[in-house]
Amino acid sequence: MPTHLLLLLFGLGAAVLCHYLPCQLLVDQPALINYLHMAGRKAMVLFLIAHVMATAVGLPGTWLVVSGGAVFGLVWGTILSTIGATLGAIAAFYLARLLLRHRIEHRFSQHKIMQKLNQMVSCHQLRCVLAIRVAPISPFNLVNFLFGLTPIHLRPYALGTFLGIIPGTAAYTWLGESGLKAFRGEGLTQLMAAVVCLALLSLLPLLKPQK
């Protein structure tokens, strides 16, 4: 994708978002949830664009996922957040590859960490992305940019990202939905179950396959 086209799409997304969604809402979760509740049919589109833009520039997206659960429920919240995070991750991937990769390669091509990462990605592209994405504790935004500095192809990166983040996204979305229900006095059972799911997902990187 040409750099100017990527920047044009990014600028259009930012313009639409700023026109319909007050910028201060991006740092005020309760106000954002209330605004989306009142936005009607535009809510899903605005939420999706906000998710893409926030992920592309490296802003933390967990609170957006939780907000999506509170506004749209488990099913639609998970779908919108997964699509938004994946598209944003692709944008960040391209930004790193087009703007930073050559400079990084020139300066750090002989560094052991870069050599190891490039070797791992070259041999097992989809498996590598899935292994990193499935754990909700991995630094999602940092990983987006790091993958852009490697020789990984877009297809396994995008597919691995989309599939790998579904479990964690669903858990955080459920946390938002169940948290809102608990706040309304509808019980704590679902909220505690969502917390347990997140804890179990966070332990996945510690599990080693038996030989």
pLDDT at 78: 97
pLDDT at 185: 85
pLDDT in tens, 127-158: 889 888 887 777 888 889 888 888 889 999 99
Q: How far is the C-alpha of 63 from the C-alpha of 111, rounded, in Å?
A: 35
pLDDT at 110: 63
pLDDT at 200: 87
pLDDT of residue 211 exceeding 50 = no
Q: Which is higher by pLDDT, 88 or 20?
A: 88
Q: At residue 76, what is the residue type?
A: W
pLDDT in tens, 34-70: 989 898 888 999 899 888 888 988 888 898 999 999 9
pLDDT of residue 169 exceeding 70 = yes
Phi-psi region at 145: left, alpha or beta (left = phi > 0; alpha = psi -120 to 50): alpha
Q: What string of DSSP letters covers 12-34?
A: HHHHHHHHHS-GGGGG-HHHHHH
pLDDT in tens, 66-104: 999 999 999 999 999 999 999 999 989 988 888 776 666
Q: Which is higher by pLDDT, 6 or 163?
A: 163
- Mean pLDDT across 162-189: 91
**Among the listed residues 206, 146, 195, 177, the one whose alpha carbon sits nearest the alpha carbon of residue 67:** 177
pLDDT of residue 109 exceeding 80 = no
Q: How far is the C-alpha of 159 from the C-alpha of 86, rounded, in Å?
A: 9
